[in-house]
Each structure stands twice: as C-alpha cells, then as structure tokens.
Amino acid sequence: MTGYAVPSPLLDAPGAVAAEGVDAGVAGHYGDPMREQRLLTEGLAAVDLSNRGVVTVTGPDRLSWLNSMTTQALTGLTPGVGTESLVLDPHGHVEHALHLVDDGTTTWITVEPGTAPALVAWLERMRFMLRVEVADVTDRYAVIGEPFGAVAAPGEPVVWVDPWPGVIDLTPSGRAGRIAAYGPVDGHPAQGRRWREAIVPREELATYIDDRPLAGVLAAEALRVAAWRPRLGFETDHRTLVHEVDWLRSAVHLNKGCYRGQEAVARVHNLGKPPRRLVFLHLDGSGHVLPPRGAEVTVAGGGTGPLAGRAVGFVTSVAHHFETGPIALALVKRSLPADAPLIVADGIGGPGIAASQEVIVAP
C-alpha cells in the first residue's frame, strides 16, 4: 500500500513532521506526540487522515449489492449509522477493510491509503446489470479523524462512527442473545472509545478543523494499538483470517447470505480454530528502543517447553503510549502459552526487547 499522492496542506501547519511509509502524505506528529495523544483522549484534537481513500456507491441497488459481496449485513442500513465490512478472497483471507456509512442516497466508504483504485476496479467487475455507480473520489474528499462518538448532526458532513469494540448482535427475533467474539466482551480496553471519520471536501479541510489542535497519525496509532483495533496491512497479511484478529466482533455478520469467502469463515468458526492469534505486548522500555514492524517474536531461551527459543510470530504494530509506555500488537502461533516469556527483535542486532503478552484472541 502507498499513500495518497498529493501531500496534505496541513503539512504546512507549525511543527508538522511528515509521516513515512503507508501514512505518507500527512503529518506523523506536530512536535509532541505524547501531548497529542492526551489531546485526543480528552476529545480536543483532530487527526489529518486525508491520505485515506474515499469511494462512493450510488444507485437504488447499492446496499443489497454491497451486502452480497462483503462480510457485513447492509440491507436496511440506517442512514448515518457507521459500520464496517470486509472484502475476502475465496479462501477467507482479508483483502479490503471498508469503513462504511450511507446517507440515504450515497454509500460512502473510506479505505486504507492507496487501496481505493484496487477496490473500485474489483467493484466495477462485479456490477453486472445492477443499478449502481462506483467512483473513486479521493481527489475531491478528505478524511478527518475525531475522538467523538455521535452520528452526524444536521449540517455536519458525512461522518463514519467506528463501531469498535462493539459486537454484532446475531440474535434472531425472540431468541436469547448470541454474539461472535474471539476476544473479551466485558472489560475490553476499548470500551467507551469514541472515534469517527468526517468526510469533507478537500478544499474545506482546514476550515472544518477550525482552531482545534492537530494530532498526528502517530498519536492516533498509539491509541489504536492500545484499543487492540486491527488495521488492514498492519494486523493483516496475505493469509489473515478474520478470526485471528477478532474482526468477527464488528465486521462479519454470521447470519447473512452468501459472500466470497463465507464458507471459509464458517468452517473455521464452527469446526476449527485459527492458526494464529493476535496478542497485545507490553514491551520493556529500559533500552529506549522500539522494535520495527515485522520484528520477529521468539520465546525467551530460558523458558521451558517445545517452543523455548523458537520464533512464534511477528510484530504488526508498535507505538509509545503516553500512559503505558512501549506497546505493540503481534500475530503469534495459536499454541503459544499465554504466560510464555517473549523476546522481540530490536531491529539493530541487539539482544532484543523483553515482552509480556496480554491475550486478545483466546488460545
């Protein structure tokens, strides 16, 4: 994935330092990432996410059409209510993650930087004779991340409210409650989290933010990691199953009709177990070094059991949280004991960084 080609005008803001990699084109921070995290948790700052792709789908068949191809139940979606859905390959591996909201006439979708063209090309191939029109409007609309939870009020732009860590209610009418979550429901660290994306015309980007403080994507990423929130291209690779990263809870409806990859989702959920599981890592910060994404995770050599000294996974996201210090998400073997002492490669050829795991997806 690569970012949107045109750098954001907010990179001209005082103190702005450009982000690198996938998030290139927007600010990584504005001089103080720790303070920016605090401002976000207090609901005071906004994050420039204008490198995200924006796709629109119009036409009377738009929701039933998207419902037939993606993991979420979208028919009858209430205007203004945000949801998320995934596009899977035939084997159930995650290809696209859609932040989706419908305003009554148009379905607005925001996606990871650089992925909109591929998504639009795939959707165009799936149109057949249905009454839908698909457009990549990334060059005309920009995304702003905000720590709020309400749906858009009259006069506001289109807003997607993040459903994470909410759990989809799979209960047929009149029956006892049923949900699907591979991580905790009660006591989830993201309970009470408020996050949304406002979709605004690019020329109104600075106007919409007004005089609010700006926070960079490093601050937003630290809070995402702390919330155990999976991100496409970070917690996913070419063989990721939704069960491995607890994406069933908010993005996959197990009671809906057929879609590509559904059989694989159902088979793992009903008959098997995912081969890997997402974990949250508390990293030793005494060396003042953060491991790079992709860093190998091994069981500490002094441990016992068949996995002692062996590689068991890799880091998917890493951050320095303003309260808890160095943290990371990692994908590890499902068989890894939850109490195993871990070492994360430091990326500089050193002895590595000691880490303890907190279970997200239960072994």
Query: Hey, what are 114's tokens?
Result: 């650089």
Q: Give how far Cα 99 sits from Cα of 160, 277, 311, Å.
A: 7, 23, 34
Query: Hey, what are 200's tokens?
Result: 């605004």
pLDDT of residue 172: 59
pLDDT 10s digits, 75-129 = 989 999 999 999 999 999 999 999 999 999 999 999 999 999 999 999 999 988 8
pLDDT for residue 283 is more than 60 = yes
Query: Hey, what are 257's tokens?
Result: 């009709």
pLDDT category of residue 304 using cuts at 50, 70 and 90: low
pLDDT of residue 178: 64
Please indicate whether residue 349 or residue 115 has the higher confidence score (pLDDT).
115
Identity of the amino acid at 340? A
Identity of the amino acid at 89? D
CA angle 170, 175, 178 (to 5 degrees): 35
- Residue ranges with strand state E in the chain: 17-18, 27-29, 46-48, 53-58, 83-88, 94-102, 106-111, 133-136, 141-146, 158-161, 196-201, 214-215, 276-283, 296-299, 311-321, 325-333, 342-344, 353-359
Q: Across residues 18-37, what is the average pLDDT?
A: 97
CATH code for residues 9-269 = 3.30.1360.120
Q: Going edge to edge, which strands form the sheet with 83-88?
A: 83-88, 94-102, 106-111, 53-58, 133-136
DSSP helix/strand/coil, 5: coil
| Domain boundaries along the sequence of the chain | 9-269, 275-359
Cis amide prior to 165 (ω within 30 degrees): yes
CATH code for residues 275-359 = 2.40.30.110
What is the rounded CA–CA span in Å between residue 336 and residue 314? 13
Average pLDDT, the chain: 93
pTM over 0.75: yes
pLDDT for residue 175 is more than 70 = no
Q: Across residues 134-144, what is the average pLDDT?
A: 97
